[in-house]
Structure 1
Amino acid sequence: MKLTIFDCDGVLVNSEEIYLAAELEFLESIGAGFEPKAYMQSFMGLSPSMWEAKLQNCVEAKTGTPLPRDFYAQIDHISTMRLEADLAEIPFARQAINKIATLRCVASSTPSTRLRWKLQHVGLIDLFDPHIFSADLVANGKPAPDLFLHAATAMNALPHECVVVEDSVNGVIAGKAAGMRVIGFTAGNHCSANHGESLMRSGADIIVENYDDLAAAIERFAGPR
């Protein structure tokens, strides 16, 4: 492998558990509750615009009415406050990433300004800067392959030379559509006991449950396909 492409939310930082809690609580409060596993599979990893459009349709189907006009502004406000208070590195990310011999970058659905803020906030930005790629840079976010292909091109790597580290079904689908190897990563607290099974069904080549095992998993892909 020449390049390891890391997702950010739920892989490098614990933001997925923060977002999920805020979103599910608020949806429940307006009478549009979701089962957490189903919500994760459908919405986690999407770009903000795709998440908003898909959620709007789902809530209307559930309730018969559109989302409140200020729904996204309220969710953003709640999530931002919780991120500022509770955002942290996924345990042992830094020490594990330092052991990986490949080139590395981040490719995330998070808008660029907030993506860089997250990495700066938890002290990981120096591991990747300037190789930090957001869905802002491409026409189609995950589950389309565009962002991963953009990252590979920017890093002068061919798709078959890349391995993607992803915690979401949409991210796994995007990585496989890009022609890359994909590690389904389940170290985050938002991942339920059977989350790895969902990632495998979506196409992940292997499941890694913690950072201690990540470098070895990447090395396994060094041989011929």
Structure 2
Amino acid sequence: MRKSTRLVAAGLAALALAGAAPATGASAAGHPVDRITTGGQSKVATASDPHLVHFQHLSIDQGLSPDRARLVVRRIRELYTFWDTGDVRYLHRADSPAFVDRTLPTGRPQGLRGIEQASRTFRAAVPDLRCTVADVLIAGDRVSVRQVYSGHFTGTYNGARGHGQGVRFNAFDIQQVGARQIVGDWHLEDNMTFSKQIGALS
């Protein structure tokens, strides 16, 4: 099978799973399918699981098989549905029990326990926190993800109480996907913007 044909198959497999429309110029007639666009945030996904988030843009490695594309897309959607909802069931579907945080912040427990703690901390500050998955790039066993978090600071953070300030900031992850689940990541959050928005920094 030629590379362009494999890419079409992989892209269409992920397309069916993501419930998205192919980008301009992409079709099953042999044009590369390397980007998938939904144009919305956290919309209804598929009939089988209407709760998974969508991606706004998705690019898929040419060498990925349809089965592999389907698995990786599913795991990434599950992970960021966890960040969008705080529901730990999605985290445990997405991430391996042996998951390793390779940019572990000081004081955060390693593994899934640390991820759960981070989610609780943010949701204590921003109870209506939402995660929009803006850009996803899948290449080999690595997935680059840009997320946009938004909500209102109505809770507490580091002893400070919110007054409804709006928050909106970016985060960037590289997820490593193993045979069945995500096994590790590298991540960077725009904590300075978040801190300024809640009044912790001038």
TM-score, with length taken from structure 2? 0.33
Q: Which has the larger radius of gyration?
A: 2
Structure with the higher fraction of residues in helix conformation: 1
Structure with the higher fraction of residues in strand conformation: 2
Q: Which has the higher contact order (CA 8 A, sep 6+)?
A: 1
